[in-house]
Amino acid sequence: MIGAGIFGVPAEAARLTGIFSPLVFLLCGLLLAPVVLSVGEVASYFRHTGGPILYARTAFGHLAGFQTGWAFWVARVTAFAANLNLLISSLAYLWPQADRGLTRVVLLLLICLAFTWVNVVGAKHAVRSVGILTVLKLIPLAALVLLGASYVEPSAFPFSETALPASGRVGSAALLLMYAFVGWESALVPAGEATDPARDMPRALLRALAAATLLYVLVQAVAVAVLPSLGTSERPLVDVAAALLGPAGAVLLLAGVVASVGGNVAASMLSTPRLTYALARDGGLPAWFGAVHPRFRTPANSVAFLGVIVFALAVVGEFAWLAGMSAVVRLLIYLVCIGALPHMRRHRANAPGRLRLPGGYVLPLAGFAVCVWLLTQVTLRGALVTAAFLAVGGLLYGWRSRHPNVGGM
């Protein structure tokens, strides 16, 4: 849950809600609690892997399962593109030309080509790159909080003298900040295989959510207190570190950005093509996506397709918009999972180790309402692009259904 998002969202949060932005992080943590617990109950009804794709297929049929899998792919692709933009804008601190014109496009192309090549050549190299790039990602964040704690004092947050931000701004900020919280759904995939998910799942999810929320609130509070112009920064935490420690602090924080974003991108490039590969093997996507490289035994077509789409989105999009779109798609996935809960309670009531939330449907309804409210904050552009991506998935599914033997393996 704690990853690349926190390096990019503080500036937009400050622009929208000013000194109240740390409280918006707290609000997001509280709003996510019923969502996390509701999806956690759904996960506890299963004893094998599959995650939300499996839940949707069990409750609503194969088409819903496919669309949920495709939505997962869209969420990861947009997050991938958003993180590439964050990486380039952060590198621009040391090399200003990196984020401009043709240089930006060339850098994005080289990064996409490099990760595509590594994942076509073999998963072993890709896994190694993930391990290398994720080392020490939390140290810069912890150092930022510790070094900037002395700046967090009442004079830096004159709440009584400042007008509350408009509800629309709070909603827009909350939708974007959800990008910093996503990722917990990946832990639910093997939840049914736990020894006692009914006991452990709610505790683990709530502790993870509480820890992430606390860190985010502290990071944002330090950022707002140290850098009053935070809302205009293109690389917020790097600029905060520079204000605290000068160029050395900026380089330290930049190393954290590169490690976190690089590790996230490497992991996405490893796992995301396997999603379209699996959907093709299950008959949902054209068989082309399931083709395996004859020498390297990797899903080369799915890897190459991902690289092309990510590059295109990274070039035309920007971090805030792409991150918001990724959050939107994940909210749709959460809605599907919560919507599957009545079916699970009726038809899988005797599943061993299942979790049953107290209060009947109070928490699931609250989680459903949170997702719907956040979705109402989506811009028209974001809604149309999201709908277009999901429609493409539907068209591919329809084509494969009518031509099941074309390109078969």
Given a cut of 60, whether residue 131 has pLDDT beyond it is no
φ/ψ region of 360 (left if φ > 0, alpha if ψ in -120 to 50, else beta) reads left
For the stretch 248-306, pLDDT in tens is 889 888 888 887 777 777 777 777 888 888 888 888 888 898 888 888 788 889 999 99
Coil vs helix vs strand at 235: coil
CA distance 189 to 43: 7
Q: With beta carbons less than 8 A apart as the criterion, state whether 293 and 120 touch.
A: yes
Q: With beta carbons less than 8 A apart as the criterion, state whether 225 and 156 touch.
A: yes
Tokens 């259904």 sit on residue:
401
Alpha helical stretches, state H, 92-122: 101-121
For the stretch 318-351, pLDDT in tens is 898 999 999 999 999 999 999 999 999 999 888 7
The CATH code belonging to domain 5-402 is 1.20.1740.10
What tokens were used for 205? 């999810």
pTM here is 0.88
DSSP conformation letters of 24-90: HHHHHHHHHHHHHHHHHHHHTT-SSS-HHHHHHHHHH-HHHHHHHHHHHHHHHHHHHHHHHHHHHHH
CA distance 337 to 331: 10
- Dihedral sign for Cα atoms in the order 11, 17, 20, 22: negative
Q: With beta carbons less than 8 A apart as the criterion, state whether 244 and 147 touch.
A: yes
One-letter amino acid at 179 equals Y
